[in-house]
Amino acid sequence: MNLNAKTVLVTGAGGFVGSHLVERLVRENCKVRCLIEYDSRGDIGWLEDVDADVSGEIEIIAGDLRDADAVGNCVAGMDAVFHLGALIAIPYSYENPRQVVETNVIGTLNVVQAARAANVERVVHTSTSEVYGTARSVPIGEDHALQGQSPYSASKIGADKIAESFHNSFDLPVATIRPFNIYGPRQSARAVIPTIVSQALSGKKVKLGSLHPTRDFTYVTDTAEGFVKVAECDTAIGGVFNVGSNAEISIGDLVEKIARLIGRDIEIERDDVRLRPEQSEVGRLWADNTLAAETFGWKPSVALDDGLGRTIEWIAANLDRYNIGAYTR
């Protein structure tokens, strides 16, 4: 499938990754419809920050993934659907598991049902490395066991299986992309890199939870490129593909790297409220990205130091948008 001049829907378009993907698709000459969560203030999320040459080329529709009629209306007439919409905060899933399950599982069901009814050419469903839980072996391949270590990860396992079932049952042309830890400009302090950077730029003390877990970080534009490549690859239909850097770094070592890039010493203060329950903590994530490389030629192009430098620069210019030191769930 060639995306050039195609009409595409992006769910979750107002989010961090969604907004970057929208920019990438517009520059791919796509006609982009954006589904965002309804807000009475008219807030369109990070789409407020996309380049001017992009904002004038997109259609924005507010709705709720749990509303089958709203989803069906958005999907109608589309050639492709990029399904990124989800509730993604793990701590929030401890407190509100029903909402997370309804949005992520029922929302995905609504998307694939609508896509089937509309005979779309391609659906790209977004998974997460959290479905693997703590690595039993590394690097983690797509055949690694799935482990529901949080209500969020369990909901995404359910969503992944809904997508898989619609391919197996109805030949829905769906491919699943499984990003690891994405970072870059526009990311909220819910994620660890903006949490560290925003605090470090404001002082010498950084509040964090566990320092020993490792993560596999991928710059957001590389991830957006992965979405495009998996959508355009016909042989990817029915498959699941890791999009990660094939490297791991501990949170403690990440702090040291960011301190070096910023050029100041950082004192870490343990904040127990940021700790996951012991059996819910994912101790190790390290992607094997071989299948994505072999199937549709994807490999990351932005090294961690370079990506962190760009991210630090953006956060420094937008520091007033962060509630420094507050725990963002």
pLDDT digits (tens, 9 = 90+) for 231-242: 999 999 999 999
6, two tokens: 């195609």
Label residue 175 by pLDDT band (50, 70, 90): very high
Tens digits of residue pLDDT in 112-128 = 999 999 999 999 999 99
Tens digits of residue pLDDT in 266-308 = 999 998 999 999 899 999 999 999 999 999 999 999 999 999 9
Q: Which long-range contacts (CB under 8 A, 24 or more apart) does 222-227 make?
A: 222/300, 222/301, 222/302, 223/17, 223/20, 223/179, 223/182, 224/17, 224/20, 224/21, 224/23, 224/24, 225/24, 225/298, 225/301, 226/177, 226/179, 226/292, 226/298, 227/21, 227/24, 227/82, 227/124, 227/177
The phi, psi pair for 76, rounded to 5°, reads: -55, 130
Across 218-238, average pLDDT: 98
Residues 6+ apart with CB under 8 A from 294: none
Label residue 324 by pLDDT band (50, 70, 90): confident
Label residue 42 by pLDDT band (50, 70, 90): confident
Residue 322 among the catalytic residues: no
Q: Which residues pair with 123 in a beta bridge?
A: 81, 174
Q: Is residue 168 over pLDDT 90?
A: yes
For the chain, the residue count is: 329
Please give the pLDDT value at position 217: 98
The phi, psi pair for 126, rounded to 5°, reads: -95, 120
Q: Which long-range contacts (CB under 8 A, 24 or more apart) does 266-270 make?
A: 266/196, 266/200, 266/204, 266/205, 266/206, 267/204, 267/205, 267/206, 268/205, 268/206, 268/208, 268/211, 269/205, 269/206, 269/207, 269/208, 270/207, 270/208, 270/209
Across 48-68, average pLDDT: 95
Q: Which of 98, 174, 181, 167 has the alpha carbon at shortest distance from 132?
A: 181
Task: Report which secondary-structure segment, H or E, holds 235.
Answer: none
CA pseudo-torsion sign 202, 44, 218, 147: positive
Residue of higher predicted confidence among 326 and 1: 1
| 95-99, 156-160, 271-275: range with lowest mean pLDDT | 271-275
Q: Is residue 223 over pLDDT 80?
A: yes
Across 201-230, average pLDDT: 95
Please give the pLDDT value at position 325: 79
Q: Is residue 39 over pLDDT 90?
A: no
Q: Is residue 329 over pLDDT 80?
A: no
Across 177-188, average pLDDT: 98
**pLDDT, averaged across the chain:** 96
How far is 100 from 327, CA to CA, in rounded Å? 19
Across 250-277, average pLDDT: 93
Per domain, the residue ranges of the chain are 7-182+217-243
Please give the pLDDT value at position 203: 87
CA pseudo-torsion sign 120, 126, 132, 137: positive
CATH superfamily for 7-182+217-243 is: NAD(P)-binding Rossmann-like Domain (3.40.50.720)
**Alpha helices (runs of H) in 36-85, residue ranges in sequence order:** 52-55, 68-75
Across 307-327, average pLDDT: 94
Please give the pLDDT value at position 92: 95
Across 61-69, average pLDDT: 97
Label residue 181 by pLDDT band (50, 70, 90): very high
CB 122 within 8 A of CB 62: no
Label residue 204 by pLDDT band (50, 70, 90): confident
CB 287 within 8 A of CB 180: yes
Q: Which residue has the tokens 């055949």?
A: 143
The residue annotated as part of the active site, out of 152, 183, 219, 322, is: 152
Please give the pLDDT value at position 198: 96
Q: Is residue 40 over pLDDT 90?
A: no
What pairing do the DSSP bridges indicate for beta strands 58-63 and 31-37? parallel
